[in-house]
A = this chain, B = another copy of it.
């Protein structure tokens, strides 16, 4: 049976209020008294009850983190950044994972409860307007990661910039005909970062008076197999692209497989760029866009702590820069 604040008070011969003041290092405690209380705390191996604290303070000391597809490497990496930052702040991290639309709706309905959490961090999930209204009513601070909502603080990586980076890298190699393999343009779950990367590519090309042909844009399910199929048809077309930008490494690997089965040499006849820099990208030798994923998590936690402390919600949007990692799947355009 763990000791309570009352036990400590008795042992130190003081009142409960005084022990509480010592615990929270409040002023107006005589140094001698403080020492006696600390001694009693040590002697009894007293640790304040989180439950009682929460009830009394009406703060839970815990943050709900809602993830979409927990098992994706990019999500886990973000989670790691969040966990580490939350530990430093002595906040508990409660993870809620979403894999289906039903669960998404259930989670977003149940989560805005001030008596359960002090704040919400949503990864790749943006609330609908009715959900937002409910969150607002609950008074809970929210920070989005890798998601967009005009009215909520969010930490994102520069998807448009990443698309431009990829395109410019290929343009420098002299490529003129580009292909793009992306996610479904209107995902039922999650956020269209794929679309923003595509926009970045388009912007970079336009600066050179170029454009990507509609038949060289293929969007669909986030699997390797699907990407391979899409790529195979694209590469069989007459004026096939000399460079393909994929919205994820998983897709890029599908692209590489398609090239292999068609006997197209990479990077001799075709350059390929991925996105995410997952572990697999390294050993496949895939050129890709690297994002500071763990850092997005850490930044989001800092924003959250600020919001809990009452800071303003500005700047709403925090954008972290991405970088290009060149490996062995990109090279000069074929003559």
Q: Is the CB of A224 within 8 A of B280?
A: no
Closest partner residue, chain B, to A59 (CB atom): B51
Once A54-B51, A93-B95, A94-B62 are accepted as A-B contacts, the answer to whether A76 and B71 lie under 8 Å apart by CB is yes
Closest partner residue, chain B, to A115 (CB atom): B49
| Cross-interface CB contact of A47 among B60, B77, B115, B280, cutoff 8 Å | B115
Residues 237-293 of A at the B interface (beta carbon under 8 Å): 250, 253, 257, 279-280, 282-283
A274 to chain B, nearest CB (A): 13
A212-B279 Cα distance, complex, nearest whole Å: 31
Q: Is the CB of A83 within 8 A of B95?
A: yes
User: Is A335 interfacial (CB-CB < 8 Å)?
Assistant: no
A125 to chain B, nearest CB (A): 15
A320 to chain B, nearest CB (A): 19
B contact residues around A94 at 8 Å (CB): 62, 92-94
User: Is A311 interfacial (CB-CB < 8 Å)?
Assistant: no
| Cross-interface CB contact of A76 among B47, B51, B76, B283, cutoff 8 Å | B76
A128 to chain B, nearest CB (A): 19
A297 to chain B, nearest CB (A): 12
B contact residues around A71 at 8 Å (CB): 73, 76-77, 80
| Residues of A within 8 A of B (CB-CB), count | 39
A88 to chain B, nearest CB (A): 11
How many copies the complex holds: the figure is 2
User: Is A84 interfacial (CB-CB < 8 Å)?
Assistant: yes
Residues 80-98 of A at the B interface (beta carbon under 8 Å): 80, 83-84, 87, 92-97
Q: Is the CB of A80 within 8 A of B97?
A: yes
B contact residues around A83 at 8 Å (CB): 70, 95-97
B contact residues around A43 at 8 Å (CB): none
Q: Is the CB of A283 within 8 A of B93?
A: no
B contact residues around A97 at 8 Å (CB): 80, 83-84
A61 to chain B, nearest CB (A): 10
Once A97-B83, A97-B84 are accepted as A-B contacts, the answer to whether A116 and B50 lie under 8 Å apart by CB is yes
Q: Is the CB of B283 within 8 A of A283?
A: no
User: Is A55 interfacial (CB-CB < 8 Å)?
Assistant: yes
A280-B256 Cα distance, complex, nearest whole Å: 14
A333 to chain B, nearest CB (A): 26
A229 to chain B, nearest CB (A): 14
A250-B71 Cα distance, complex, nearest whole Å: 17
B contact residues around A202 at 8 Å (CB): none
A60-B92 Cα distance, complex, nearest whole Å: 13
A80-B99 Cα distance, complex, nearest whole Å: 10
| Cross-interface CB contact of A115 among B2, B92, B96, B282, cutoff 8 Å | B2
Once A73-B71, A77-B71, A283-B280 are accepted as A-B contacts, the answer to whether A115 and B224 lie under 8 Å apart by CB is no
Task: For the complex of A and B, list the 7 residue pairs with the smallest distance between their C-beta atoms, beginning with the closest.
Answer: A51-B54, A51-B55, A280-B280, A49-B115, A92-B94, A83-B97, A55-B55
Of the A-B pairs whose beta carbons lie under 8 Å apart in the complex, a sample of 26, sorted by A's number, is A2-B113, A2-B115, A47-B113, A47-B115, A51-B51, A51-B54, A51-B58, A51-B60, A51-B115, A52-B55, A54-B55, A55-B55, A62-B94, A70-B76, A70-B80, A70-B83, A71-B73, A71-B80, A76-B76, A80-B97, A84-B97, A87-B96, A95-B95, A224-B282, A224-B283, A280-B283
